[in-house]
Structure formats: structure tokens, C-alpha cells
């Protein structure tokens, strides 16, 4: 499964880079809109529009910073570990699907498979952490049998 972890990490990195590019493009567009807005007789409307563009710019900058932080966290995940206990960096096959305890990007489809990428701080990950092969955990009235861990 380490090839799967490598492919997942690569796909996740691609997703994060795409988010960064989209946010940077939105920042550039908002800056251009803000800077080219002409003053009209309705001065307050003009200033409100400029303020809204600045809020959009600030929000997109936060998105870029968050994506960069997620990329940094993703880079710290060891891909070659194989443990018997679920922890940060584990790729877990359960009776309910595959979960990669890394950074939260949601569902990632890869080679016909579906993998859910979750942060170790999420409630589901917290329920999984520490479980071993063959264990069954219950989360929100659903049972998750641990079928494999990598």
C-alpha cells in the first residue's frame, strides 16, 4: 500500500497546488477590480465596493496561507512506515472504506478507489487512533472493523 500512500500524497499535493493557484488568480482579479473601479456620484457605493473587494482579497490570502500550511503538514508524513497501530500518517482500510490520516481534503478518488483524507484532529480519526488490526471501533453508531493498516 505504500505506493497508494505515495499516489495519494501526490494527488493531495496537486489539489493543494490547484487551490493555491485558484486563490492567487482570485486575488489578482479582486485587486484589478478594486483598482479599476471608478468613482461615481454614489461615492458610498464605490467605497463599499472597494471594501468588499478588500475583504475578498483578505479571504483568498487566508486560503493561500491555509493551503501552504496543509502542504507543509503533508510533506511531514512518512510514507514508508508500517505500524500495527493507527496514528498520523496511517492509511487504514476499514469495513466502511479507506481513511488516510493526514490532512483534511475530503474524498480523493485514485485508480478507481475512493479514499477519505482526514486530519488526526477530526472526531473519526480520534476514534481510529490507537486501534489495531482486527479491532472494531464504533463512531456515530457505525462499526468500523480495521482490515489493514499501513
Instruction: Please report which confidence band the pLDDT of residue 96 belongs to, taking 50, 70 and 90 as the band edges.
Output: very high
57 vs 71: CA distance, rounded Å: 21
Q: Which residues contact 38 (CB under 8 A, 6 or more apart)?
A: 46
How do residues 112-132 score in pLDDT, each as one tens digit? 899 999 999 999 999 999 999
Of 99, 127, 101, nearest to 113 by C-alpha is: 99
How do residues 31-53 score in pLDDT, each as one tens digit? 888 787 665 555 566 677 778 88
Read off the pTM. Answer: 0.81
Amino acid at each position: 500500500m505504500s505506493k497508494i500512500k505515495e499516489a495519494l500524497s501526490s494527488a493531495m499535493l496537486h489539489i493543494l497546488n490547484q487551490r493555491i493557484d485558484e486563490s492567487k488568480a482570485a486575488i489578482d482579479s479582486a485587486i484589478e477590480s478594486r483598482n479599476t473601479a471608478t468613482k461615481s456620484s454614489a461615492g458610498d457605493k464605490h467605497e463599499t465596493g472597494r471594501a468588499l473587494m478588500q475583504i475578498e482579497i483578505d479571504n483568498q490570502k487566508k486560503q493561500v496561507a491555509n493551503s501552504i500550511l496543509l502542504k507543509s503538514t503533508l510533506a511531514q508524513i512518512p510514507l514508508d512506515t508500517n505500524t500495527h497501530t493507527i496514528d498520523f500518517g496511517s492509511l487504514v482500510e476499514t469495513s466502511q472504506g479507506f481513511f488516510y490520516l493526514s490532512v483534511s481534503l475530503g474524498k480523493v478518488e485514485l485508480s478507481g478507489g475512493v479514499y477519505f483524507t482526514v486530519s488526526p484532529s477530526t472526531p473519526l480519526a480520534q476514534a481510529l487512533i490507537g486501534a489495531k488490526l482486527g479491532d472494531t471501533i464504533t463512531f456515530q453508531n457505525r462499526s468500523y472493523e480495521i482490515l489493514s493498516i499501513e
